[in-house]
Chains A and B, each alone.
Chain A
Amino acid sequence: MDFIAKIFTFFLTSILIIVTSFFLFSQLNFPNNYKVLLVQSGSMAPSINTGDLIIIKPVLLYQKGDIVTFLSKNGFNITHRIVEIKDNKITTKGDANSINDQESTDQTQVLGKVFYIIPYLGYLIIFIKTTVGLITLIIIPSLIIIFQEIIQIKKNFKKLLKR
């Protein structure tokens, strides 16, 4: 039983290290780095749904049919599919939308092409950012850890006094 627990802990630790490093690395701003983004709307359904995480990476050549994330004039990240490329300008459309996006986008504004979709994990992020999420996933665990540490310090202090 102890052996199984150790293996489980090992796997859990490994997965957490890999996933955390992957997410943290995506935050680094250097050319051609991949990015992880949380999808907050359903305009690309059913290809990409609300609550999915997408991994994007810049590529040299964007093609019709690629799902890309680009920076809108208002400064928002938008993820839609390329339906037309003309004179370095791309026209995009959400799969769930009935019409093309009304303004074309310069290719320099494209942040990257969607390479991978992680379903549902975005809901965890949305939950963390709520008050309930903050309390249950950050504040309560933090308080438990602080409490455990205080007890440990007390124990150590008592041991020290006995000596």
Chain B
Amino acid sequence: MLRFLFFSFIFSLILISPTNADFIDKKTVKNNQFIATTLDFSQLKTTDNSSIETLFNIDNISPGGYQVNSLRIKNKSETDMNYFLTFGKIDGSDDFCNQLEINLIKDGQSKYQGPLVDLNLNINANNKEDFSDWLIYLKLSDKYVKSKSEFCDFNLNINAFSDPNQKSGFKYKRSILNHISSS
């Protein structure tokens, strides 16, 4: 009897729906900036604080060729937030995308260095911290052998969570477009 009740109880709990996502329909996108009451971030140019839509736009990259860009992520929220920087392929050759390497440097320290496609970097942004500046070094592997014209269009995704465990709270995703081609 107790066993049956125990499982019924667990089952009844699983059925309970959530009430959350308070800000999903409350956010407005204005000048590429998320405005919400407790989770608010923007990606900006480090030169003039204007918003960034595209970070890397490189044509004719050669093996070993690289470019360095900077990105400012500003946490304007009332709470700390965790965000993940991830790679999201849009279009192009898998082989070519696999040959791209990225080095993400924050406060003079490399936070991730490796294949772009494996990028999954978790960062905690304290709400008292005004902004975090990133130096992003994108390189085409020396080992890449150019056989034909190839390209890789991808998003640098910023997935922000107010809850480090991502179980609750608010979630936002912003993407910055990138285009790299070998011709």
Q: Which residues of A contact B (CB under 8 A)?
A: 9, 12-13, 16-17, 19-20, 23-24, 26-27, 35-43, 50-51, 53-54, 69, 72-74, 76-80, 94, 96-99, 101-103, 121, 124-126, 128-130, 137-138, 141-142, 145
For A124, the chain B residues whose CB sits under 8 A away are 13
Contacts known (A72-B25, A101-B26, A103-B25); A38 close to B5, Cβ less than 8 A:
no
16 A–B contacts from the bound complex (CB under 8 Å)? A23-B9, A23-B16, A38-B20, A40-B18, A40-B20, A40-B167, A40-B168, A41-B170, A42-B162, A43-B23, A43-B38, A50-B163, A76-B20, A79-B22, A137-B10, A145-B3
Q: Chain B at the A interface: mostly helix, strand, loop or mixed?
A: loop
Q: Is A97 a contact of B16 with CB atoms below 8 Å?
A: no
Contacts known (A41-B169, A94-B37); A77 close to B13, Cβ less than 8 A:
no
Q: Is B37 a contact of A43 with CB atoms below 8 Å?
A: yes
B10-30 CB mask vs A (1 if < 8 Å, else 0) is 101111111111111110100
Q: Which residues of B contact A (CB under 8 A)?
A: 1-3, 5-10, 12-26, 28, 37-38, 78-79, 162-163, 167-170
Q: Is B19 a contact of A39 with CB atoms below 8 Å?
A: yes
Q: Is B16 a contact of A126 with CB atoms below 8 Å?
A: no
- Interchain CB contact (< 8 A) of B14 among A73, A101, A129, A142: A129
Contacts known (A97-B37, A126-B167, A128-B14); A20 close to B5, Cβ less than 8 A:
yes
Q: Is B169 a contact of A42 with CB atoms below 8 Å?
A: yes
For B168, the chain A residues whose CB sits under 8 A away are 40-42, 50-51, 126
For A129, the chain B residues whose CB sits under 8 A away are 14
For A79, the chain B residues whose CB sits under 8 A away are 19, 22
Q: Kindly state the separation between the CA atoms of A77 and B16 in the bound complex, as whole angstroms.
A: 12
Name which residue of chain A comes closest to B23, CB basis.
A43
Most chain A CB within 10 A, of B15, B23, B26, is at B26
